[in-house]
């Protein structure tokens, strides 16, 4: 995964990750629960995503069934790396501190993070 996906592409990936493989019709229905989009618009973007290798599709039947080729964490990492590089001048811990500090975190979140740090320190 080199290139970070566009907003629309991300939106589609999210739905596929959540719902599993879908036809354009089904995906567009889901999408329209969130915002108004035309069917052929969704179709077009999914076709382009397929060209780019972001999706694969099963064309055995008339209605093609699309699946994402990437896992959420892969895309999340690509985006994170990009943000760290462009917005935080390459300083990853600066991003983490910002994310931690700005909003108030719940005790559960903090505990979770502490646990991970402990794990990392043990290596």
Partner DNA sequence: TTGTAATTACGAAGTGCTTCGTATAATTTT
Partner DNA sequence: AAAATTATACGAAGCACTTCGTAATTACAA
The whole-angstrom separation of Cα 87 and Cα 73 is 20
Instruction: Choose the stretch contacting DNA; rule: CB under 7 A; options: 32-40, 82-90, 94-102, 105-113.
Output: 32-40
Q: Is 79 in the site for DNA (CB under 7 A)?
A: no
Stretch that binds DNA, among 40-48, 68-76, 77-85, 100-108 (CB under 7 A): 40-48
User: Which of DNA, a second copy, none sits in contact with 6, Cβ below 5 to 8 A by type?
Assistant: DNA
Taking the alpha carbons at both ends of the chain, their separation in whole angstroms is 28
59: phi then psi, degrees, rounded to nearest 5: -105, 20
Closer to a second copy by CB, 58 or 94: give it. 94
| Cross-sheet strand order for the sheet of 22-23 | 22-23, 65-68, 55-58
Q: Which of a second copy, DNA, none is residue 40 near (CB under 5 to 8 Å by kind)? A: DNA
- The SS3 of residue 33 is helix
What x-and-dash track marks residues 2-31 binding DNA by CB under 7 A? ----xxxx-------------xxx------
**99 to 88, 92, 109, 110: CA distances (angstroms):** 12, 11, 12, 12
User: How many chain residues interact with DNA (CB under 7 A)?
Assistant: 22
* Residues at the site binding DNA, with contacts judged by CB under 7 A: 6-9, 23-25, 36-41, 43-45, 47-48, 61-64
């Amino acid at each position: 995964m080199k290139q970070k996906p566009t907003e629309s592409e991300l939106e589609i990936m999210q739905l596929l990750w959540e719902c599993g493989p879908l036809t354009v019709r089904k995906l567009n229905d889901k999408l329209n629960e969130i915002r108004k989009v035309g069917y052929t618009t969704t179709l077009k973007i999914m076709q382009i995503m397929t060209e780019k290798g972001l999706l694969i599709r099963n064309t055995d039947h008339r209605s093609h069934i699309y699946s994402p080729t990437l896992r959420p964490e892969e895309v999340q990492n690509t985006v994170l790396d990009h943000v760290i590089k462009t917005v935080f001048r390459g300083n990853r811990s600066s991003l983490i501190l910002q994310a931690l500090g700005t909003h108030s975190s719940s005790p559960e979140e903090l505990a979770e993070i502490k646990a991970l740090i402990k794990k990392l320190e043990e290596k």
